[in-house]
Amino acid sequence: MDFNMKKLASDAGIFFTRAVQFTEEKFGQAEKTELDAHFENLLARADSTKNWTERILRQTEVLLQPNPRKTLLMVSEAEKRLGAAERDFIHTASISFLTPLRNFLEGDWKTISKERRLLQNRRLDLDACKARLKKAKAAEAKASTVPDFQETRPRNYILSASASALWNDEVDKAEQELRVAQTEFDRQAEVTRLLLEGISSTHVNHLRCLHEFIKSQTTYYAQCYRHMLDLQKQLGSAQGAIFPGTFVGTTEPASPPLSSTSPTTAAATMPLVPTVASLAPPGEAALCLEEVAPSASGTRKARVLYDYEAADSSELALLADELITVYSLPGMDPDWLIGERGNKKGKVPVTYLELLS
């Protein structure tokens, strides 16, 4: 291979000069050009944007990993519908959320990083030129000191004058290099500043993508909720055919209970009512709630974790964060309790409660 030795030697010299300048700055032995506070704030803002974008991307990818639903293995059609809804959600989230984040990290951020590295190199070159000019001026001042003709030999005087002229030329050369380095640094600083100020538009785009992700997530959980209601109704009908005396509720909420609290929080954290719980043993459905009394084991207080809309008149509707009194009855399904709030009474799912001691 044909190497350009002159260019290689020049690049090695520049790299060595930058390394020396950087090392001397770290040990406090050389001056460093400080950027203004606004510029430093833009650099910190860009770094923070990059770090948070990576964290959001990693955590979202972990969230979207498909999870097997062992509890629905015997209900193939319901599983199929849930799987289709999940695939649509992942596809939508990938297009509207993950892809823009990747494009920022692989496109705009790489450009910003490249220009920042160039700015760092230009700054090191500038500070090295400043240090070289400072040393040349100090040497020139020392060489230009007028000697005492009575104590100095003529030969030494001639050498001193020659050295002064050489250092004068060195000062002129160092000043010219400093002007060139300052021009290149200012130009690169302006380019980098413009790119960093463009981070504001990146924030707007990230926020828009987040809104799209929340919208698709809300749609996904609403679909899952509807599929589980349909499954619960089908299982209830099947149980009613086996046990004719079993009471099966036919009413269901007009819409998923996602409006009383934040849509994303409620959809992401709300557990499904145990499907087996709705299949009450024969005889329990005929229970008159007005005549139910607490068991001998006593009552407990419970805090409601999520909103719950009663599926039928035997259940008690719940609001998040309210306190109710709960107790169990002999032979009652362990996934359910009797809840009381004022003069209202009904069955409540255990998964929606935090029992207090």
Residue 325 has pLDDT above 50, yes or no: yes
In the 8-state DSSP scheme, what is residue 326?
E
Residue 68 has pLDDT above 60, yes or no: no
- Percent of the chain scored above 70 by pLDDT? 72
In the 8-state DSSP scheme, what is residue 344?
E
pTM above 0.85, yes or no: no
Q: pLDDT confidence of 318, banded at 50, 70, 90?
A: very high
DSSP string, 82-116: HHHHHHHHHHHHIIIIIHHHHHIIIIIHHHHHHHH
Residue 339 has pLDDT above 50, yes or no: yes
Dihedral of CA atoms 32, 38, 39, 44 in degrees, nearest 10, equals 100
Kind and range of the H or E element at 302? strand 300-304
Tokens read off for 109: 């951020």
Q: pLDDT confidence of 233, banded at 50, 70, 90?
A: confident
pLDDT-wise least confident of 120-124, 232-236, 239-243: 239-243
Asked if residue 302 lies in contact with residue 308, where contact means CB atoms within 8 angstroms, the answer is: no
Going 145 to 146 to 149 to 154, the CA torsion angle's sign is positive
Q: pLDDT confidence of 324, banded at 50, 70, 90?
A: very high
Find which of 127-136, 159-168, 275-284 is predicted with most confidence, using mean pLDDT: 127-136
Asked if residue 115 lies in contact with residue 189, where contact means CB atoms within 8 angstroms, the answer is: no
Residue 137 has pLDDT above 90, yes or no: no
User: Alpha-carbon distance 79 to 74, whole Å?
Assistant: 9
Q: pLDDT confidence of 120, banded at 50, 70, 90?
A: very high
pLDDT-wise least confident of 78-87, 172-181, 200-209, 275-284: 275-284
Mean pLDDT estimate for the chain: 77
30 versus 3: the higher-pLDDT residue is 30
Q: pLDDT confidence of 57, banded at 50, 70, 90?
A: confident
271 versus 346: the higher-pLDDT residue is 346
pLDDT-wise least confident of 1-5, 117-121, 212-216, 279-283: 279-283
Average pLDDT in the 194-206 region? Answer: 90
User: Alpha-carbon distance 179 to 49, whole Å?
Assistant: 35
Amino acid identity at 237: S
User: Alpha-carbon distance 312 to 247, whole Å?
Assistant: 10
Residue 333 has pLDDT above 80, yes or no: yes
User: Across the chain, which distance is largest between two alpha carbons, in Å?
Assistant: 132
Tokens read off for 15: 């790299």
Residue 69 has pLDDT above 70, yes or no: no
Average pLDDT in the 328-344 region? Answer: 87
